[in-house]
A and B are shown apart, each in its own frame.
Chain A
Amino acid sequence: MDKFRMIFQFFQSNQESFMNGICGIMALASTQMYSAFDFNCPCLPHYNLAYGLGILLVPPFILFLLGFVLNNNISMLAEEWRRPQGQRGKDPAVLRYMFCSMAQRAMIAPAVWVSVTLLDGKCITCAFCTSVPVETLGNASHPPLSQGEVQRVLARIPCKDIYNGQQLIANEVAVRYLRCISQALGWCFVLLMTTLAFLVRSLRPCFSQAAFLKSRYWSHYIDIERKLFDETCAEHARNFAKVCIQQFFEGMSTDLVAARCHLPRKAPADAEKLLGITDRGTMNMALKSWHRCKPPLHLHPPVLPTGNGWAGEGQPPTHPSAPRRETAAYYSWV
């Protein structure tokens, strides 16, 4: 648990580390998904290719989109892209930087899936078993079959238990051949991806380093600004709620005092904390009133009963600018 927390803290300390952490988790999830997936080749002539290539290409696409969805910065990018210019100019270089860094991170899990699939070999074996060169690998002396028959026999290569073409071409030979091709493709793919990553990373300092530093700074800035603004708003909402609720209870207490004809009993020491509500009936009434008629979102007049539906009427408003309806006292200049 401690170890997990420490690793979590390390990744959280830095925004980029956090994104790298998500990236690594998705790559691991991708390998786990592959090993948990029960690959089941249909062993039929035209279905094999569709199934094999589908398993090879559709999950990476899903993982790529998932990489974007899980990335918090996508909404930040969209917001920055679509906002009106207003008083602050927009810099397309910053947008490009944000998009590129997100796309690079989102590409890792799909690349891992494709590599693992190719290195394992089942997909390619399933997809291309009907294209095995029977002339070179198989038995030339076998009585000739029609093209369709040959296709049907070859399509059963991945399914060892129903394979009936052992005289035409040995199952192990075909599987080894296809797997060799698949693994070679897999390693070449990994080499290509690694080379691309290396080139992208090492050529950047050679060109436009200053522009890169600028874009990186402003993209971090936009992210931090958004977070701070959310925090400020949340704090404001908390204080707003506190005052609102306090006023509500004060309003209730005032109503109670006005409605009752006798003085309240000698209050206990922390009566103030109870805000004048000291028995079950009153509390139920307060809760019902809170549910039926919430106070308006208007905090200026602290002394007024704010129209909460209590039977006892409160005093009339002391000044005209505090309306009793649930709208603002703030007049727009637009």
Chain B
Amino acid sequence: MDRFRMIFQYFQSNSESVMNGICGLLALASVKMYTSFDFSCPCLPQYNMVYGLGIMFVPPIILFLCGLILNRQSLVMLEEWRRPQGRRKKDLAVIRYMCSSIMQRAMVAPVVWIVVTLLDGKCLICAFSGSMDPEKFVGFANVSTVQVQQLLAKVPCKDDELMRNNTSRKAVSRYLRCWSQALGWSILLILIIAAFLARWLRPCFNQATLLQARHWSNYIDVEQKIFEETCCEHSRLFAHKCILHFFESMRQEIKLHSFSVPREGDGAEGEEDLLRGITDQDQVNKLLKTWYYEKPPLDVSQAAPRH
């Protein structure tokens, strides 16, 4: 529990950490989605390619858009980009920095999906089994063209009655899976090398500009958060004052119109004060009705309540 709380607090402490946390969660969600998705190749000549490539490329687009939506900083960046200049100049380097960091984080989950898909192999087998050269495989070599297309399309479906115990099917499957996994590992290697180089070589170029951009992007983020918190706090105080004024004005009305005798008894005073002069059922009903029908104006500057 303590560890969980520590991790939670660590991620909350810094907005960059929060974004990294979201990025990681999306990557995990991407893997989970893939494993829980029931991949079911149609095993029909034209449909295979569309299905296979669709499953490989459409969810990454969705994950990319999700990464952009869930990232608070993308909104901050857009606001900074579109705001009128006013009295504060806009620094394009900051906006570029924010944009690139958002994009980098949003790209992680789609890349994870594509790599997992390739390493698993089902998508590529489904998409490209129909494009295999039948001459290379014994079982499909001497079959008519139309038939061979049908047969090759059925390769991804292990349980199909034509394909059960067909050694050529297994051969095609293995071949495609080998290619798929090789592609997956190569992409992973290239991306890791690129990330490594980017991180190592970055200090060699424009380090000062980078530090400035990072500082100001963090500043804009923090300023936005504090502004929202201040607005919340302000509206709370405003509401409090408004309600107090309302009760006060009700008390004034009651004093004006009722014939109550000044009360003796000090014990009752403290509590009566808390009651703000509203001491019976009709008064309370009147108060509630007035609250609904005539809300007080949004103006707490006047000292005396309304009459």
Q: How many A-B residue pairs have CB under 8 A?
A: 190
- The answer on a CB contact under 8 Å between A172 and B240 is no
Q: Would A330 and B286 count as touching, CB distance under 8 A?
A: yes
Which residues on B sit within 8 Å (CB–CB) of A86?
293-295
Is residue A39 contacting chain B, with contact meaning CB distance below 8 A? no
* A132 CB to nearest chain B CB (Å): 12
Given contacts A84-B293, A176-B42, contact A232 B247 (CB under 8 A): yes
**B257 and A331: CB pair below 8 A?**
yes
Instruction: List 12 additional contacts besides A328-B281, A329-B280; criterion CB under 8 Å.
Output: A83-B293, A84-B294, A176-B43, A202-B75, A228-B243, A232-B243, A297-B282, A299-B272, A321-B261, A327-B282, A330-B282, A332-B286
Closest-CB distance, B284 to chain A (whole angstroms): 8
Residues of B contacting A88 with CB < 8 Å?
A: 294-298
Main secondary structure of the interface of B (DSSP, over half): helix
State in angstroms the CA–CA spacing of A209 and B84 once bound together. Answer: 11
Q: Are B279 and A298 in contact (CB under 8 A)?
A: yes
B239 interface neighbour in A172, A228, A327, Cβ under 8 Å: A228
Partner of B235, one of A179, A221, A302: A221
- Nearest CB in chain B: distance from A10 CB, A: 8
Contacts of B243 in A (CB 8 A): 225, 228-229, 232
Is B254 in the interface zone, CB < 8 Å from A? Answer: yes
The answer, among A120, A239, A302, for a CB contact under 8 Å with B275, is A239
- Name the distance in Å between B294's Cβ and chain A's nearest Cβ: 3
| A84 nearest in chain B by CB position | B293
Could you tell me which B residues sit within 8 Å of A by CB distance? 1, 4-5, 8, 37-38, 40-44, 47, 50-51, 54-55, 58-59, 61-62, 65-66, 68-69, 74-75, 78-79, 81-83, 157, 159-161, 231-232, 235-236, 238-240, 242-243, 247, 253-254, 257-261, 263, 265, 268, 271-272, 274-276, 278-284, 286, 288, 291-298, 306
A83 with B238, Cβ < 8 A, contacts A232-B247, A236-B276 known: no
Cβ contacts A to B, 7 pairs, < 8 Å: A87-B306, A176-B40, A209-B83, A217-B231, A220-B232, A229-B291, A296-B280
Q: Which of A6, A190, A233, A302 contacts B268 (CB 8 A)?
A: A302
A2 lies within 8 A of chain B by Cβ: yes
Instruction: Tell me the nearest residue of chain A to B126, going by C-beta.
Output: A180
Asked if A206 is at the interface of the complex by the 8 Å CB criterion, the answer is yes
Which residue from A87, A170, A195, A243 sits with its C-beta under 8 Å from B271? A243
Kindly identify which residue among B65, B160, B272, B297 contacts A172, using a CB–CB cutoff of 8 Å: B160
| Residues of A that sit less than 8 Å from B by CB | 2-3, 6, 10, 79, 83-84, 86-88, 119-121, 137, 170, 172-173, 176-177, 179-180, 183-184, 187-188, 190-191, 194-195, 197-198, 201-202, 205-206, 209, 217, 220-221, 224-225, 228-229, 232-233, 235-236, 239-240, 242-243, 296-303, 319, 321, 327-333
Contact A328 B238 (CB under 8 A): no
Least CB distance from B276 to A in Å reads: 7
Chain A residues with CB under 8 A of B37:
119
